[in-house]
Amino acid sequence: MLKSLLIVGAGSFVGGALRYCVSMLMKAVCGQAFPWGTLLVNLLGCFVFGLIFALFGKWNAQSSSWLLFLTTGLCGGFTTFSAFAHESVQLLQNGELFAFFCYVFVSVAFGLLLMGLGYWVAK
């Protein structure tokens, strides 16, 4: 368990640092009127997560420490949106359409609602 935590922590550090660098670069290049950096890391994180997960599946290495480092750690630190997208795709692949739509709706709608509530409570 400790080894897994350290692996995820190391990956999260790298992912978080990369997210910060990409966000700062996008702000410098595109300005601050739209969150281009966040959009880019979310979309890129989803692509990379899917790519890594598929490759490790082909190699039958789903219990690999590298998979944990790259997906939960790196991609999770880069963006948590990648995990949400992956889980949503898994529900679709398993034919769980109702669960898919519920998960997506509740995650987006209540995530936004609770974010607003948090801001409201803090004021």
Predicted TM-score (pTM) of the model is: 0.77
Q: What percentage of the chain carries pLDDT values higher than 70? A: 100
33: DSSP letter? S
pLDDT tens figures, 92-112: 999 999 999 999 999 999 989
Please enumerate in sequence order all residues whose Cβ is within 8 A of that of 53, keeping only pairs 6 or more positions apart, or say none.
67, 71, 86
Of the listed ranges 34-38, 70-74, 89-93, the one predicted with least confidence: 34-38
62-93: string of b/e by CB count within 10 Å (b at 16+)?
A: eeeeebbbbbbbbbbbbbebbbbbbebeebee
Mean pLDDT of 7-22: 96
Sign of CA dihedral 110, 115, 116, 122: positive
Which comes out higher in pLDDT, residue 74 or 62? 74
The number of domains in the chain is: 1
Mean pLDDT of 62-90: 90
User: Are the CB atoms for 105 and 40 separated by under 8 Å?
Assistant: no
pLDDT at 59: 87
Residue 40 belongs to domain spanning: 2-122
pLDDT at 33: 87
Please enumerate in sequence order all residues whose Cβ is within 8 A of that of 74, keeping only pairs 6 or more positions apart, or say none.
11, 12, 14, 15, 18, 48
